[in-house]
Amino acid sequence: MRLVGAAQQAHRPSASASGKKGWRFTLRTMFSIVLVSLLAGLHPLAFSELRIEPVYGVLTGDILAGIGLLILVRHGSSLGGFSVVALITQERLGWRAGYVMMALDACVVAAALLVVPALNVLISAAGVVVLNLVLAFNHRPGRYLGS
């Protein structure tokens, strides 16, 4: 029961997006989440033999993920969770979404120190910075917004 309650709390920002960001944003976000989940499930099948150096994989992957998230955000979508909170915060308070997401993601990564080796957490923290700087530098009010 506690796990179900925790999952509901974790998805609350996404669920409340329809009221704050509109149904169009919510439907696009749901579609984006399903599509990314399906593609993530296909990657191990398509790249089963691939071996990538972890630091390179994290940094390159997070640059690409940041660009992908930027594209979604500019076209009225997100991947739910912290990205919805960050976008609403940017609209209401004027704080850059990339920096808000970086702070929230950093809290999660810092909590990982309780269960994950410090080197892995450090590598993940570098990924958090890279991904969110892509958003912070490129997603600003008044910049290109696709429809």
Confidence class of residue 139 from pLDDT cuts 50, 70 and 90? confident
Question: Is the Cβ–Cβ distance between 105 and 69 less than 8 Å?
Answer: no
Query: Model confidence at 3, in pLDDT bands (50, 70, 90)?
Result: very low
Question: CA–CA separation, 43 vs 21, rounded Å?
Answer: 31
pLDDT at residue number 124: 96
This prediction's pTM? 0.81
Q: What is the pLDDT of residue 61?
A: 95
Q: Do 124 and 109 touch, CB atoms closer than 8 A?
A: yes
Mean pLDDT for the chain overall: 87
CB 134 within 8 A of CB 70: yes
Question: Does residue 5 have a pLDDT over 90?
Answer: no
Average of per-residue pLDDT across 113-125: 96
Q: Is the dihedral of CA 55, 115, 8, 44 positive or negative?
A: positive
- Output the pLDDT for position 44: 87
Q: Residue range 9-26: average pLDDT?
A: 69
Q: What percent of the chain has pLDDT over 70?
A: 82
In angstroms, how far is the first alpha carbon of the chain from the final one?
A: 40
**Better-predicted residue by pLDDT, 8 or 44:** 44
Taking the CA atoms of the chain, what radius of gyration do you get in angstroms?
Answer: 16
Residue 143 has pLDDT above 80, yes or no: no
Summarize pLDDT for 37-91 with one digit per residue, the tens.
Answer: 999 999 888 888 888 999 999 999 999 999 999 999 999 999 999 999 999 999 9
